[in-house]
Amino acid sequence: MTDVASRKQDRITRRQVDKFDARRTELAVATLHTLAELGYARTSLREIAQNSEFSHGVLHYYFADKRDLITEAVRQYEVVCVTRYDEVVATSATADQLRDEFVAMFFDTLGQDATLHRLWYDLRNQSLFDESFRADVLEIDGHREDMVWRVVSRYAELVGGTVAVSPGMIYVTLDGIFQRALLNHLAGNADSVAQLRVELPAAIGLMVSTAE
């Protein structure tokens, strides 16, 4: 009877943990746009509650502080982000198609999700000052690195070449272009964003070596 009761209690405990985690995820996703609009420095759990449908008490029950909520929100957003280009990689029949569709999606998401991307860079910048963010930021950075590696390595295969630089170099290069384009987009510098869009295909080409 003791073993049976213990197993039953374990199942109940797991269900409770699962429900708690599911509710955390739900709240993080629901408050994501509020967080993206306000940014790290201007938020507290109380301010987030005032700008959302959830009470301060509810948010405080599920999250220790705003760092906990922001990290969870960015994690949930990144779950979607890091698979953004996978369909393009899987369906492109030629190198030109893959490159062109990647560039189009790269800049489309810049416009559609600018505030959400801004939140990610805000969190990453905060990790330079706040150690509690660093492990999560490095993990997310790793997933983003894998994402663009899948694109460029497949492009190299389709063009009949090899990748000429490391996954890390690919990531920092493309991320640097994206961050600069995001800043110019937020500043209303459409010409600068357009120029980066023109130059991105050449940047991808520099990452790949082909036989002469």
| DSSP-derived secondary structure for 108-157 | HHHHHTHHHHHHHHHHHHHTTT-GGGHHHHHHHHHHHHHHHHHHHHHHHH
Taking the complete model, does pTM exceed 0.85, yes or no? no
| CB within 8 Å of 140: residues ≥ 6 apart | 74, 75, 78, 120
What does the domain layout of the chain look like in residue ranges? Answer: 2-65, 75-210
Is the domain 75-210 a CATH 1.10.357 member? yes
- In this structure, which amino acid lies at residue 22? A
Q: What is the pLDDT of residues 72-89, one digit of tens each?
A: 888 888 887 878 899 999
Q: Per residue in 147-174, pLDDT tens?
A: 999 999 999 999 999 999 999 999 999 9
